[in-house]
A and B are shown apart, each in its own frame.
Chain A
Amino acid sequence: DGGITQSPKYLFRKEGQNVTLSCEQNLNHDAMYWYRQDPGQGLRLIYYSQIVNDFQKGDIAEGYSVSREKKESFPLTVTSAQKNPTAFYLCASSPTLLAGDGNEQFFGPGTRLTVL
């Protein structure tokens, strides 16, 4: 089955620690995205990537970093510089980057990060 996997589903970390969230897709999509969702709020874009070894900052990139070494993988690191990291993180992919081409985004199941 094609799709997006995110691991782990729940993640706990101590304040001051970096943590990496995994995102893998087998849809052969070029574009991948990371979103943050806080309770009662919409999706906010953290980073996105059009192709391997290329990525762009979204609306709330501070305190986060990403890499795109393989087409299938787009891990997100939440660094200790992120002041309020507790949130639900969603990874998504689409065939190409251009939203105006009608490309829907396919979403993973999400990772719920809690900082203790």
Chain B
Amino acid sequence: AQKVTQAQTEISVVEKEDVTLDCVYETRDTTYYLFWYKQPPSGELVFLIRRNSFDEQNEISGRYSWNFQKSTSSFNFTITASQVVDSAVYFCALGSYNTDKLIFGTGTRLQVFP
């Protein structure tokens, strides 16, 4: 069974704090992709990153970084020096080779206060 778990329902931080959003996945496939999306208050989901199962290198993009660990089936997302504009719901998703749809987690709502 394919599954994505985002155990943190809501996180609140003060601006400039670092914050990590957790994502744990389950799949029996050896070939798969993991995604992170951001949903700001406007509602539209915005693609942030894609990572395939054969590439465990961490990725950094500005204040965003992602840590992929196959040993723990996790794909965590860290925002460094958070800003108010980072306030949104963040979704982790899994695409396995043998399925024709993305499996989404339930999302983590991040609130960054000034």
Could you tell me how many residues of chain B have their Cβ less than 8 Å away from some Cβ of chain A?
Answer: 31
Query: Residue A99 contacts which of B9, B42, B44, B102 (CB distance < 8 angstroms)?
Result: B102
Chain A nearest CB from B17 CB (Å) reads 23
Instruction: Report Cα–Cα, A40/B107, bound state, in Å.
Output: 8
Q: Which of A14-22, A71-79, A102-110 contacts B (4 or more CB under 8 A)?
A: A102-110
- Interface residues in B10-67 (C-beta closer than 8 Å to A): 29, 31-33, 35, 37, 42-47, 50, 52
Chain A nearest CB from B95 CB (Å) reads 3
Instruction: Report Cα–Cα, A70/B46, bound state, in Å.
Output: 25
Is A50 a contact partner of B50 (Cβ separation < 8 A)?
no
Query: Residue B99 contacts which of A41, A100, A107, A112 (CB distance < 8 angstroms)?
Result: A100
Residue on A nearest B44 in the bound complex, by CB: A109
Q: Which residues of B contact A42 (CB under 8 A)?
A: 91, 104-107
Query: Residue A105 contacts which of B9, B43, B102, B106 (CB distance < 8 angstroms)?
Result: B102
Evaluate whether A50 and B100 lie within 8 angstroms (CB atoms) in the complex, with A104-B35, A109-B43 already known. yes
Chain B nearest CB from A27 CB (Å) reads 13
Residue on B nearest A45 in the bound complex, by CB: B101
Is B97 a contact partner of A100 (Cβ separation < 8 A)?
yes
Interface size class, chain A: 20 to 34
Q: Scan A83-116; emit 1 where CB is below 8 A from any B CB, else 0.
A: 0000010101000011111111111111010000
Residue on B nearest A98 in the bound complex, by CB: B100
Instruction: Report Cα–Cα, A106/B106, bound state, in Å.
Output: 18
Q: Which residues of B contact A102 (CB under 8 A)?
A: 33, 50, 52, 95
* A residues lining the B interface (CB < 8 Å): 33, 40-43, 45, 48, 50, 56, 58, 88, 90, 92, 97-110, 112
**Extra contacts besides A99-B101, A112-B43 (18): CB < 8 Å:** A41-B106, A42-B91, A42-B107, A90-B44, A97-B101, A98-B95, A99-B33, A99-B96, A99-B99, A100-B98, A101-B95, A102-B95, A104-B47, A104-B50, A105-B45, A105-B102, A107-B45, A107-B46
- Show 9 A/B contacts (Cβ-Cβ < 8 Å), sorted by A: A41-B106, A42-B91, A58-B101, A99-B96, A100-B97, A107-B45, A108-B44, A109-B42, A109-B44
